[in-house]
Amino acid sequence: MAPKQRVPEKTSTASPSTSKSGKSGSLDAQEIVQGVWNKYVEKTPQRTKLLDSFMVFLVVVGVLQFVYCLIVGNFPFNAFLSGFSATVGQFVLTASLRMQTNPENKAEFEKISHERAFADFVFGSLILHFFCINFIN
């Protein structure tokens, strides 16, 4: 089979465009964010959106715990460390569940059913919270 011949690119003789102002650049960024959001709302399954909202909640809780530690202090350090570790650990477990149940990842997780992934999530959450409660003393 003969190799394909390349078609030469057309060169443009147009003058270079003027630089965009900062306002136009921010509009472009806003359009990109709006496009990503619209595509997310249209194409993401409801189950994945629920997991995403739980992950956002976990991030907010983690930030609140950290800010509280900075402002008030971390006197019962075990309690702070246990709570923050539970938040981070739950986020990681939820991210794992999201990856396993996402329809776009069927090829990587074809041997794992959604029910098995959820059972692993619940079991991992129970173990995580058991260790966190025992760490508090």
Q: Is 16 inside any structural domain? A: no
Mapped onto helix, strand or coil, the DSSP state of residue 62 is helix
Domain range for 82 is 41-136
Mapped onto helix, strand or coil, the DSSP state of residue 116 is helix
Q: Is 97 inside any structural domain? A: yes
Q: Residue 76: what pLDDT?
A: 83
Q: Which of 22, 134, 7, 18 is nearest to 79 (CA)?
A: 134
Q: Is 25 inside any structural domain? A: no
Q: Which two tokens stand for residue 126?
A: 């129970």
Q: Is 77 inside any structural domain? A: yes
Q: Is 5 inside any structural domain? A: no
Domain count, the chain: 1
Query: Which segments in the chain show pLDDT lower than 70?
Result: 1-24
Q: Is 66 inside any structural domain? A: yes
Q: Is 22 inside any structural domain? A: no
Q: Residue 75: what pLDDT?
A: 83
The per-residue pLDDT for range 11-28, each reduced to its tens digit, is 555 555 555 555 667 778
Q: How far apart are CA 30 and CA 98, in angstroms?
A: 27
Q: Residue 44: what pLDDT?
A: 87
Q: What is this structure's pTM?
A: 0.74
